[in-house]
A and B are shown apart, each in its own frame.
Chain A
Amino acid sequence: MAYIKNAIDRFDRMMATITFAEAGERERALDLLYDRPDQANDKQIESGIKKREEIRAGLREGKPKKKSLWGKTLGYGLIAAGLYGTIFWQEDLVMKYFTRGGWYAALPIATVFIFSLAHGSFANYLWSALGIEATRKKTAVRPEKARPVERKRPRPGLRA
């Protein structure tokens, strides 16, 4: 664990070095690269590293783990595949009853509801597992109402 933590810290220092170098802060970048003591710089760098750790922790807590998403995708995928397999394996029997009309109309309607639940859930988890999710920025945007035109002349007032 300590080895992994050291490796992450070192990686963070390298990234911070590159950032300072790109910003033209040559001396600070060299301090970081060769681990030269500079207390003022160290505090700034440490706070930057800490901030990035907090961001990563937040991201980890906010999102469900990738493994569980793929697990759910696979689970619902297997259910959906099983349902499809059943329908097409017994195609002739299914078509015989599903096109009888009358009260048998409930069969195709119930079937599509069940398939929507299973396959819809599979599709939902698949997109999430692939990282394709709604952005956090916005959902519904209310259209602006046109503002009234500003009066160019002031309203006449009573002279005191």
Chain B
Amino acid sequence: MPTGAEVIQFIDLNLTVVGFLFIVGFIGGLVSGFIGSGGAFVLTPGMMSLGVPGTVAVASNMCHKFPKALVGAYKRFRYGQVDIKLGLIMAASAAVGVLVGIRIQENVLAKWGQAGSNLYVSLSFVVVLIVVGGYVFYDAWRISRSGGVEQVGRLAQRLQKIHLPPMILFKTANLRISLWFTVPIGFATGMLAATIAVGGFIGVPGMIYVLGSSSLVASATELVIAFVMGLGGTVKWAMNGMVDIRLTLIILAGSLLGVQLGAIGTTYVKDHMIKIVMGTIMLIVAFSRGLAIPAYLKDLQLITVSAATVKLLNQFSFVTMCIALLTGAVIILGSMWRAKRAEQIEEEASEYA
């Protein structure tokens, strides 16, 4: 079987490429450490825009994802935010979801070609991100108006009351629920990861609204799931020789700095801030993917659009995705700065009291 080195041309590195990957890695890590997912949806198309073949971009991205998730999960575990049992149980069903998601992708590709596959991915982005992201954002806005205290949702309360063995107690998440309610969330997380490369956009809201976990624990536990999925996916890609270790290590250099900063940030902000960042990013990315849809409809000959318009839309789409990450980073760093200043003023005031 031909290996990656024989059939794939790996790109030459220059200062621009290194700088771009480091910065995107840092911001992706920052967002990931804060909300439990993020960065992947910009890194893969970002690498492809530098000339990296698609499979190498996905493989190298995944190879950096699992150590970043490990470091982030460890840091937040020390803050008491990670429910390892919940993470591992959901990772088991997520692994099945990934396999099913890949199989669906292969079927769509075989039936409708590359354009059909791209359209499927983009539509999944738009639908999931608008529905889930919109609800997350609305919920965060509602909480911030009512005094900033999270409450267990009605759906989660009802599900927690249903006695369907085996019932599992998740100590850190402070909830007791049937194992069967964790399975569809984990499965959907894996499927979404295989489809759009970011499973956390289902996993984190699922843990919050379906299981009844807090935003802090949900976003921290998601890092455990990301680690397991990332490691499994990396083994698969590396066995085919698709991992460009140079790209992986450059992104890792930035993301390990960012993920720890993001993890620290979660201890400074109110819980609903995680939802605000997540909802904001999801809605902007949904808009970005919406801009890319006309190109795929044109390739499937469903609409007529000029090549220049398609090129412009694709460029806007990529820039919008970068804006999504930047917006998340600005909100996170801004909130941390304000909270840190307030804490310093409080400490100074108590010292001289």
Contact = CB atoms under 8 A, between A and B. Distances in A.
Interface stretch (A34-42, A63-71, A108-116): A108-116
A134 to B, nearest CB: 4
Which residue of B1, B238, B248, B352 has the most chain A CB atoms within 10 A of its CB atom?
B238
Nearest to A120: B71
Given A115-B252, A145-B151, A145-B152, A139 B79 contact: yes
Contacts of B64: 112
Given A144-B151, A145-B151, A113 B80 contact: no
B151 A146 contact: yes
Given A55-B351, A96-B5, A101-B239, A133 B70 contact: no
B200 to A, nearest CB: 18
A98 B243 contact: yes
Given A143-B152, A143-B214, A87 B246 contact: yes
B242 interface: yes
Contacts of B150: 141, 143-144
A11 interface: no
A126 B261 CA distance: 10
Secondary structure at chain B's binding surface: helix, strand, loop or mixed? helix
A135 B249 contact: no
A25 B81 CA distance: 47
A79 interface: no
Given A95-B10, A100-B5, A142-B174, A116 B67 contact: yes
A135 B343 CA distance: 9
A135 B253 CA distance: 25
Contact of A99 (B5, B157, B214, B216): B5
B241 A109 contact: no
A127 B80 contact: no
Nearest to B66: A112
B246 A95 contact: yes
A12 B221 CA distance: 47
Interface residues of B, number: 60
A135 B267 contact: yes
B79 A116 contact: no
A45 interface: no
A146 B244 CA distance: 51
A46 to B, nearest CB: 15
Interface residues of A, number: 46
Contact of B67 (A19, A113, A134): A113
A15 interface: yes
A80 to B, nearest CB: 8
B214 A141 contact: yes
Contacts of A124: 75, 260
A111 B79 CA distance: 27
Given A101-B4, A139-B81, A146-B152, A132 B261 contact: yes
A36 B340 CA distance: 40
Interface string B290-334: 000000000000000000000000000000000000000000000
Which residue of A52, A108, A134, A139 has the most chain B CB atoms within 10 A of its CB atom?
A108
B245 interface: yes
A119 B253 contact: yes
Nearest to B143: A143
Interface of A: 15, 19, 52, 55, 84, 87-88, 91, 94-96, 98-102, 104-105, 107-109, 111-113, 115-116, 119-120, 123-124, 126-127, 132-135, 137-146
Interface of B: 1, 3-5, 8, 10, 63-64, 66-68, 70-71, 75, 79-81, 149-152, 154, 157, 172, 174, 212-214, 216-217, 231, 234-235, 238-246, 248-249, 252-253, 256-257, 260-261, 263-264, 267-268, 271, 339-340, 343, 351-352
